[in-house]
């Protein structure tokens, strides 16, 4: 009797374990990118974390967030390591070669952060004949890719996170940082003596990266996201983290 009970118990436990595994969506991100994803009390919060939670809720699934290096996200999604990646990630032709993207849910603009007393006044100064300014970027981001193309690898210093790039600017190791506008604002607010230049570098659209073979998940995520956009949930989440001035 005891044995039978133990066997039934073990079976139940196995079944719940499987049910849970099936019911969990794993999201890869790089959680050093406020207001999209960042830590508060050891928890990843932000626009992406909340939209992802709302999508998971619609699909009746749990959400697990894995924090890793940004430049590993696209290859990891392509390799099936995460169900999706959400990281203020810009849709690019190159990334579309290896992953699918959902409908877009936000836009970003690559902005330039400088020290308050910087001689750099706009993007033209970076392109000027003989200019030798060194740009700090987060490795593998669109900011990195554009700057390396435009100014040459020798004028670009890559860092693991945006925070690290900004710390290098504060320490005088680079002349400016090029990064998405909303994280740029958060970094400037968190550090003395920095400002964002009025000029915009490149405009882009954010979406969720999903494995190319997982068309079922892509369709489900798109359906959920479209509903969340239509009913104002996405706007409300964005407004919560980016108050309009």
**CA 24 to each of CA 77, 98, 207: distance values in angstroms, whole numbers, following the listed order:** 16, 23, 20
For residue 31, what are the contacts with CB-CB under 8 A and spacing of at least 6? 37, 38, 39, 44, 46, 65, 67
According to CB under 6 A, which residues from 150 to 209 bind ligand ARG? 180
- Identify the residue among 25, 30, 84, 105 touching ligand ARG (CB under 6 A): 30
Which residue's CB is nearer to ligand ARG, number 148 or number 223?
A: 148
Which residue's CB is nearer to ligand ARG, number 62 or number 67?
A: 67
Residue with tokens 């987060």: 138
Please tell me whether residue 137 binds ligand ARG under the rule CB under 6 A.
no
- CB 72, min distance to ligand ARG, A: 11
| Rounded Cα distance, 157 and 143, in Å | 11
Which residue's CB is nearer to ligand ARG, number 108 or number 136?
A: 108
- Helices 47-58, 233-241: inter-axial angle, 10-degree rounding: 160
Which residue's CB is nearer to ligand ARG, number 37 or number 50?
A: 37
Please tell me whether residue 37 binds ligand ARG under the rule CB under 6 A.
yes
- Identify the residue among 85, 108, 114, 176 touching ligand ARG (CB under 6 A): 108
According to CB under 6 A, which residues from 211 to 240 bind ligand ARG? none
What stretches of the chain adopt beta strand conformation (E)? 24-29, 38-40, 43-45, 62-67, 84-85, 99-101, 106-115, 135-138, 156-159, 176-180, 194-206, 209-211
Three-class DSSP category at 80:
coil
Determine the size of the site formed for ligand ARG (CB under 6 A). 16
- CB 200, min distance to ligand ARG, A: 14
- Identify the residue among 85, 88, 126, 135 touching ligand ARG (CB under 6 A): 88
| Rounded Cα distance, 227 and 222, in Å | 8
181 and 109 Cβ atoms separated by less than 8 Å: yes
Which residue's CB is nearer to ligand ARG, number 87 or number 112?
A: 87
Which residue's CB is nearer to ligand ARG, number 29 or number 211?
A: 29
Residues forming the site for ligand ARG (CB under 6 A): 29-30, 32-33, 36-37, 70, 87-90, 108, 138, 141-142, 180
């Amino acid at each position: 009797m005891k044995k039978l009970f133990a066997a039934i118990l073990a079976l139940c436990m196995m079944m719940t374990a499987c049910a849970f595994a099936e019911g969990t969506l794993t999201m890869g991100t790089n959680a050093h990118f406020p207001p999209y994803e960042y830590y508060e009390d050891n928890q990843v919060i932000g626009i992406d974390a909340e939209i992802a939670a709302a999508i998971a809720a619609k699909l009746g699934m749990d959400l697990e967030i894995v924090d890793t290096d940004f430049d590993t996200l696209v290859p990891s999604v392509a390799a099936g390591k995460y169900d999706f990646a959400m990281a203020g990630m810009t849709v690019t032709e190159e990334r579309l070669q290896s992953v699918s993207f959902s409908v877009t849910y936000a836009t970003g603009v690559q902005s330039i952060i400088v020290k308050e007393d910087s001689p750099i006044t706009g993007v033209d100064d970076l392109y000027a004949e003989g200019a030798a300014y060194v740009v700090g970027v987060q490795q593998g981001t669109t900011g990195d890719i554009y700057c390396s193309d435009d100014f040459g690898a020798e004028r670009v210093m890559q860092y693991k996170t945006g925070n690290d790039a900004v710390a290098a600017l504060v320490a005088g190791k680079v002349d400016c940082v090029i990064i998405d506008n909303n994280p740029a604002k958060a970094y400037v607010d968190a550090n003395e003596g920095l400002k964002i230049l009025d000029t915009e570098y490149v405009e882009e659209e954010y979406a969720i990266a999903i494995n190319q073979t997982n068309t079922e998940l892509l369709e489900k995520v798109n359906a959920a996201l479209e509903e969340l956009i239509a009913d104002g949930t996405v706007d409300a989440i964005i407004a919560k983290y980016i108050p309009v001035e």
